[in-house]
């Protein structure tokens, strides 16, 4: 893969119990870019993220981050290395306050971490989190919860964010704001690797795309090329590539 | 509404403190003894509430730690050791044993963990009963002395009651500080969703072990005080029954609520005494009451109170009248 890849998967095999989901998955993620992973439901997209983040055992193959092998490294260490992971669905701790959720983003921080300053900075960037800092996190709306999850992921200044279907359940306007936020992160040098069902809209906001099918990479290319590829429309008939509501 | 809830809590607490302070003058010696037992059991239940209520780890071994603490103090004070040294030893030994008992919890959860800890409790009980050379078995250990504080003897029931009460106050304050610290938040995060916590880099392993160790350490301290309270111990009180009873206190009071163990211990220690007038029927009545309570408020008495006092104004935040996915209590500030 290109030398300017921050993350590389090489022939990764893994799954749940005896069931293999990733069948020798390989792709690279370009540093400083937004890359979107698309593919039919059950293709193994989320499973691939879990394998990268050390939540799912990799049985064969290797994963490299920033030139270092990180295969099967535990999450706590990967966070220290500069990776953060925002899983699919709801990931806040509903019983804790908004501020305390944010604070947990620094759970793996070194002892001399300037927690107060970083919390302040995060709340400056996401004013709604300051406004609702003392509230129980379950009182946030869906969009605010996603903001909180992203803000929490950014607490330790990651180099790479893995984000799994962030737009699910958000209104079109909020999806727009979300992609703006991801592009803003890119402009600050953070590499974004996301999974999206809304393939068209996501690819329009990305630099690169990866198409997964049956646990393998089917296509990897620049996002606009993938958008123009007739095979993709084929693959997604009735799937994620329906024309987006204008 | 939030304010009035807080005010109510503060008022209830102030009344309780006043009651506890004047209680010895309202009751006969037996009443003072029962209140003292309540204090000791509350401390053990506070420990279990850390393990179970905050960190979500089921333990049926709390009685074993109360027992280990009791035997350490009983054995050593009757051989001339000063109470305080045995007290510290009881706390630290149980902390260490609790830490070790936490290892199975890293592999198994829920009912499996319940069985592991149950087996541990039985094992410890059998040691108390059978290893006569160490514990004097069913003959027990007699004449356990009560400590002195700054030259003041705590031997009489009323001074000893205040001695216990001071312990409860200190332990409550320390536990409160812990729960309000990042540690307390980490415990709650691990309970609410261990995988989610792990994905944020929370050291779930360390917090799980620590939850066991801290809970066990408080069990040991409670046991040390218990030995000095009753002044005679044998293996009987430390059987599985007490572990179940402590579990009952935590759950009836409101698992994961700071004041849950206090209230739960009222139900488990004081209520049976008040129901004694019903003679042979009191245990049946007590059991029926506990069942009703669990059917109508599975989140315990404080969970029930929380629900009554929380305004149902959630609907303004959107069309989802959500409750958390589990039956876990919804806590407000404090
Ligand atoms: N925790 C799990 N245990 C067992 N099988 C799973 C689990 N999670 C996902 N799977 C299976 O793995 C396959 C891939 O899932 P996933 O990676 O979530 O797909 P997607 O590409 O839609 O994100 C699916 O067939 C799914 O049923
Ligand atoms: Mg998925």
Is the pLDDT assigned to residue B83 strictly greater than 80?
yes
Is the pLDDT assigned to residue A117 strictly greater than 90?
yes
Find tokens 């008939």 and name the residue. A237
Which helix (H) or strand (E) segment is A243 a member of?
none
Q: What per-residue confidence (pLDDT) applies to B312?
A: 57
Task: Find which of B53, B56, B201, B315 to mutate to test the A interface (most A CBs within 10 Å of its CB).
Answer: B201
- CB count within 10 Å of CB A229 equals 15
Cβ–Cβ below 8 Å for A79 and B201: yes
Q: What per-residue confidence (pLDDT) applies to A241?
A: 43
Cβ–Cβ below 8 Å for B317 and A141: yes
- CB count within 10 Å of CB B142 equals 12
More confident residue, B153 or A11: A11
**Nearest residue to B321 via CA among B310, B313, B331:** B313
Query: Which chain A residues contact residue B198 at CB under 8 A?
Result: 55, 75-76
CA distance A7 to A70: 10
What is the rounded average pLDDT of the residues B207-214?
A: 94
B200: nearest CA partner in chain A: A105
Question: Residues B21-29: contacts with CB within 8 Å, 24+ apart?
Answer: B21/B165, B23/B161, B24/B157, B24/B158, B24/B161, B24/B162, B29/B157
- The pLDDT tens digits of the residues spanning B266-285 come to 989 988 888 877 777 877 87
Find tokens 């031997």 and name the residue. B155
Q: What per-residue confidence (pLDDT) applies to A45?
A: 96
Cβ–Cβ below 8 Å for A94 and B192: yes
B159-182 burial, b at 16+ Cβ within 10 Å, e below that, comes to ebbbbbbebbeebbeebeebbeeb
- B318 to chain A nearest CA, in Å? 7
Q: What per-residue confidence (pLDDT) applies to B273?
A: 84
Cβ–Cβ below 8 Å for B188 and A96: yes
- The pLDDT tens digits of the residues spanning A67-104 come to 999 999 999 999 999 999 999 999 999 999 999 999 99
Is the pLDDT assigned to residue B297 strictly greater than 70?
yes
What is the rounded average pLDDT of the residues A167-194?
A: 95
Work out the mean pLDDT of chain A and round it to a whole number.
Answer: 92
pTM for this prediction: 0.85
Is the pLDDT assigned to residue A245 strictly greater than 70?
no
Categorize the per-residue pLDDT at B2 as very low, low, confident or very high, splitting at 50, 70 and 90. low
Q: Which ligand is nearest to the CA of A50?
A: 1
Q: Tokens at residue A236, please?
A: 């997604």
What is the rounded average pLDDT of the residues B319-332?
A: 36
- A58 to chain B nearest CA, in Å? 17
* A80, A93, A97 ranked by CB distance to B189: nearest: A93
Is the pLDDT assigned to residue B188 strictly greater than 90?
yes
CATH number of B5-21+34-315: 1.10.3470
Q: Ligand 1 centroid vs A45 CA: distance in angstroms? A: 8
Pairing status of strand A34-38 against strand A208-213: parallel
Question: How do the domains of chain B map onto residue ranges?
Answer: 5-21+34-315
CA dihedral sign of residues A175, A47, A53, B323: positive
A140: nearest CA partner in chain B: B317
Report yes or no: A144 at the B interface, CB cutoff 8 Å: no
Q: Is the CB of A211 under 6 A from ligand 1?
A: no
Q: Is the CB of A41 under 6 A from ligand 1?
A: yes
Q: Ligand 2 centroid vs A89 CA: distance in angstroms? A: 9
**Nearest residue to A236 via CA among A212, A205, A204, A217:** A212
Cβ–Cβ below 8 Å for A95 and B192: yes
């Amino acid at each position: 893969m290109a030398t300017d890849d921050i993350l590389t998967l090489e022939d990764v095999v893994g799954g749940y119990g005896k069931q293999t989901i990733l069948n020798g998955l390989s792709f690279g993620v370009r540093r400083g870019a937004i890359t979107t992973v698309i593919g039919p439901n059950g293709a193994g997209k989320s499973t691939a993220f879990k394998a990268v983040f050390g939540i799912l055992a990799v049985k064969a193959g290797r994963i490299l981050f920033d030139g270092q092998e990180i295969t099967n490294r535990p999450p706590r260490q990967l966070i220290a290395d500069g990776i953060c992971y925002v899983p699919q669905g709801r990931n806040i701790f509903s019983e804790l306050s908004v501020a305390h959720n944010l604070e947990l983003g620094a759970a793996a921080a070194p002892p001399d971490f300037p927690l107060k300053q970083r919390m302040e900075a995060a709340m400056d960037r996401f004013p709604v989190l300051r406004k609702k800092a003392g509230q129980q996190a379950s009182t946030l709306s869906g969009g605010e919860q996603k903001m909180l999850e992203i803000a929490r992921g950014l607490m330790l200044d990651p180099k790479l964010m893995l984000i799994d279907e962030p737009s699910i359940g958000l209104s079109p306007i909020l999806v727009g704001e979300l992609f703006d936020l991801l592009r803003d992160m890119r402009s600050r040098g953070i590499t974004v690797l996301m999974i999206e069902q809304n393939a068209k809209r996501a690819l329009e906001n990305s630099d690169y795309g990866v198409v997964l099918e049956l646990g393998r990479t089917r296509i990897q290319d620049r996002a606009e090329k993938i958008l123009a590829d007739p095979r993709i429309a084929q693959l997604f008939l009735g799937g994620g590539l329906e024309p987006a509501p204008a | 509404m939030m304010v009035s809830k807080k005010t109510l809590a503060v008022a209830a607490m102030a009344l309780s403190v006043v009651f506890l302070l004047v209680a010895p003058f309202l009751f006969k010696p037996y009443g003072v003894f029962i209140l003292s037992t309540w204090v000791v059991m509350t401390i053990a239940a506070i420990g279990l509430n850390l393990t179970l209520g905050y960190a979500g780890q089921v333990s049926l071994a709390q009685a074993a730690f109360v027992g280990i603490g009791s035997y350490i103090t009983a054995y050593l004070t009757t051989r001339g050791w000063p109470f305080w040294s045995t007290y510290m030893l009881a706390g630290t030994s149980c902390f260490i044993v609790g830490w070790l008992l936490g290892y199975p919890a890293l592999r198994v959860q829920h009912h499996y963990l319940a069985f592991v800890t149950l087996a541990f409790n039985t094992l410890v009980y059998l040691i108390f009963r059978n290893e006569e050379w160490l514990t004097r078995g069913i003959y027990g250990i007699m004449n356990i002395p009560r400590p002195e504080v700054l030259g003041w003897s705590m031997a009489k029931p009323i001074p000893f009651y205040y001695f216990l009460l001071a312990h409860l106050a200190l332990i409550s304050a320390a536990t409160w500080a812990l729960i309000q610290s990042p540690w307390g938040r980490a415990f709650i995060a691990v309970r609410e969703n261990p995988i989610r916590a792990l994905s944020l880099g929370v050291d779930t392993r360390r917090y799980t072990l620590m939850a066991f160790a801290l809970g066990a350490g408080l069990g040991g301290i409670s046991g040390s005080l218990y030995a000095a309270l009753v002044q005679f111990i044998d293996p009987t009180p430390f059987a599985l029954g007490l572990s179940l009873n402590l579990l009952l206190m935590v759950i009836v009071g409101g698992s994961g609520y700071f004041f849950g163990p206090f209230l739960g211990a009222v139900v488990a220690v004081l209520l049976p005494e008040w129901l004694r007038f019903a003679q042979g029927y009191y245990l049946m009545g007590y059991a029926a009451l506990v069942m009703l309570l669990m059917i109508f408020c599975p989140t315990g008495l404080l969970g029930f109170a929380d629900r009554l006092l929380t305004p149902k104004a959630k609907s303004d935040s959107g069309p989802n009248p959500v409750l958390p996915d589990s039956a876990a209590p919804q806590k407000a500030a404090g």
